[in-house]
Structure 1
Amino acid sequence: MDHASEWRIYWRIMLPLSAPALAVLAIFSVMWRWNDFLLPLIVLSKSDVFTLQLALNSFQGELNTQWHYLLAMTVITLVPVTAAFAFLQRYIAAGIASAGVK
């Protein structure tokens, strides 16, 4: 890459090599924020602004738990994280394959 600027070297060499690590970081960041329970529990007081995890917790009754609603909500909360992983898994596989070659 003769006569390439610093940005071109960054975009052509550094970013493709770090794509698997950035994909893993993105997956972990999305999962961490999506599954965050304690901070919204402390901060939010109105039930109409609860996150899905807090709403899932509010389905637990003192005497009776309606399991069909609880399990349906669990599936709904898993969909975005699964979609993010499905979108970014090719970068993870490429990172594992390139690490084995080095």
Structure 2
Amino acid sequence: MPYLQAVVKEALRLHPPGPLVIRPSVTGLCCKPVMRDPYLWEDPAEFKPERFLPASPRSGGQEDEMIKEEVLKYIPFGSGRRGCPGSNLAYLSAGIAIGVMVQCFD
């Protein structure tokens, strides 16, 4: 199941559900360019679900720092206090739909 979740996250990185952040911002933040920025992502235009798979165990401080860094560059449903409250439901629904399609595929 971790690979299926990584596929869902990678698909949402390449094609976010809402291209614009509704809250007003000074710079006019748009999700799509942020999640395809070559400075933040290695090979940003390629579909690589492996980038969302958990890596080997790290020390506690580095892992916390990596999680914070990932949150700031992966924002298909917004982030922080005003992020989408239905994002967990969307992840689960997409994962179940893709899992059922793969299971029934001949």
TM-score using structure 2 length = 0.28
The structure carrying a bigger helix percent of its residues is 1
TM-score using structure 1 length = 0.29
